[in-house]
């Protein structure tokens, strides 16, 4: 079985308050984009191990057992030890890591979806979301894979009426990784005057002056190269451009396809896609 975990972007991100547990309450919109990894899960002939995993494409650091795909597998194996048989997993990474695009979370969620189907576990979307939530705050988003307004720590979802289908998106990631801790380091939480869903109901060409990502203040100060990418996207005619999540990827939304982007952003990860959602 092969599935194709897709990325997401954050449209707006407001840091509302710091919680007593040390985390922060935020509000943002998660929106799916068709930049994808590939995940293959097949029965294994090695019956001595619950799983074997191979990762290709972008090089990932850390131990295999720390991969979110493995964590998703182990979570289901713990719940269904007799139903889930040994598997070989091949994950081909195309979504860049450390970018704010949710690639690892999407891989984990799609592992749950694939195992549920392959081993006929009978889990519905809500049950899969509960399992995914134990792996990461934004993992449940990728179960239904539809735009949502996210609050809490990014783990409380509500429906939002927003549609970018037919627009074009350019995603650019420099050779910089931004730690979440650094992104939060100088943030002063505050409640916005207007809620994000209200701002996103306005015409797209008004978002530039109204819809903000609070992390940009901290990140752009430390990494002016990322700020320069946003400026370049506006120079190219973006209706709206911003950093996704805590970065370091920046995206721009356009009415039409832009030519020669590989030359324009030479040396960076850069992809252009037509929005399908």
Mean model confidence pLDDT for the chain: 94
Read off the pLDDT of each residue in 49-74 and give the average, rounded to a whole number. 88
Assess whether 138 carries a catalytic annotation: yes
Read off the pLDDT of each residue in 228-251 and give the average, rounded to a whole number. 97
Whether the pLDDT of residue 59 is over 80: the answer is: no
pLDDT the model gives residue 65: 78
Sign of CA dihedral 175, 181, 186, 192: positive
| pLDDT tens string 135-168 | 988 999 999 999 999 999 898 999 999 999 999 9
Read off the pLDDT of each residue in 237-250 and give the average, rounded to a whole number. 96
Closest CA to 144 of 276, 2, 6: 6
pLDDT the model gives residue 80: 98
CA distance 26 to 187: 12
| pLDDT tens string 116-133 | 999 999 999 999 999 999
Residue 102: which pLDDT band, with cuts at 50, 70 and 90? very high
What is the secondary structure of 70-125 as a DSSP string?
Answer: HHHHHHHHHH-TTT---EEEEEEE-SPSSSSS-HHHHHHHHHHHHHHHHTT----H
Whether the pLDDT of residue 64 is over 80: the answer is: no
Give this prediction's pTM: 0.94
pLDDT the model gives residue 215: 95
Residue partners of 158: CB distance under 8 A and separation at least 6? 148, 149, 151
pLDDT the model gives residue 66: 85
**Which residue is catalytic, options 37, 138, 155, 214?**
138
Q: Which residues of 4-33 are buried (b: 16+ CB within 10 A; e: fewer)?
A: ebbbbbbbbbbbbeeeeeeebbbbbbbbbb
Whether the pLDDT of residue 11 is over 90: the answer is: yes
Read off the pLDDT of each residue in 198-222 and give the average, rounded to a whole number. 95
Whether the pLDDT of residue 198 is over 90: the answer is: yes
Read off the pLDDT of each residue in 199-217 and give the average, rounded to a whole number. 96
Residue-range domains of the chain with CATH: 2-158 (3.30.230.10), 163-274 (3.30.70.890)
Whether the pLDDT of residue 23 is over 90: the answer is: no
- Which two three-digit tokens encode residue 97? 């890591």
pLDDT the model gives residue 267: 95
Please tell me what DSSP assigns to residue 205.
G
pLDDT the model gives residue 186: 82
**Which residue is catalytic, options 8, 77, 173, 230?**
8
Cα dist from 195 to 64, 133, 152, 190, whole Å? 40, 25, 14, 12
Whether the pLDDT of residue 4 is over 90: the answer is: yes
Cα dist from 132 to 146, 203, 231, whole Å? 16, 34, 36
CA distance 189 to 207: 21
């Amino acid at each position: 079985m092969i599935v194709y975990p897709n990325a997401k972007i954050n449209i707006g991100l407001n840091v509302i308050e710091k919680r007593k547990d040390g985390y922060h309450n935020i509000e943002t919109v998660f929106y799916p984009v068709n930049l994808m990894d590939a995940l293959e899960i097949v029965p294994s002939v090695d019956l001595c191990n619950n799983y074997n995993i191979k990762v290709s494409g972008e090089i990932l650091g850390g131990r295999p057992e720390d991969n979110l795909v493995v964590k998703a597998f182990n979570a289901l194996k713990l719940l269904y030890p007799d139903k889930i048989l040994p598997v070989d997993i091949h994950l081909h990474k195309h979504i860049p890591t450390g970018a704010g695009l949710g690639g690892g979370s999407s891989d984990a969620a799609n592992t749950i979806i694939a195992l549920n189907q392959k081993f006929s576990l009978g889990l519905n979307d809500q049950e899969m979301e509960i399992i995914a939530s134990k792996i990461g705050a934004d993992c449940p988003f990728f179960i239904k894979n539809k735009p949502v307004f996210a609050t809490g720590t990014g783990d409380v979802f509500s429906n939002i009426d927003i549609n970018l289908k037919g627009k074009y998106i350019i995603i650019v990631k420099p050779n910089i990784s931004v730690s979440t801790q650094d992104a939060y380091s100088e943030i002063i939480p505050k409640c916005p005057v207007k809620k994000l869903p209200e701002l996103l109901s306005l015409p797209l060409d008004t978002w530039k002056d109204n819809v903000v990502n609070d992390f940009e203040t901290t990140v752009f100060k430390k990494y002016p190269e990322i700020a320069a990418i946003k400026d370049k996207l506006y120079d190219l005619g973006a209706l709206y451009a911003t950093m996704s999540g805590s970065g370091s990827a920046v995206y721009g939304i356009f009415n039409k396809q832009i030519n020669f982007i590989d030359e324009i952003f030479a040396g960076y990860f850069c992809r252009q896609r037509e929005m399908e959602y």
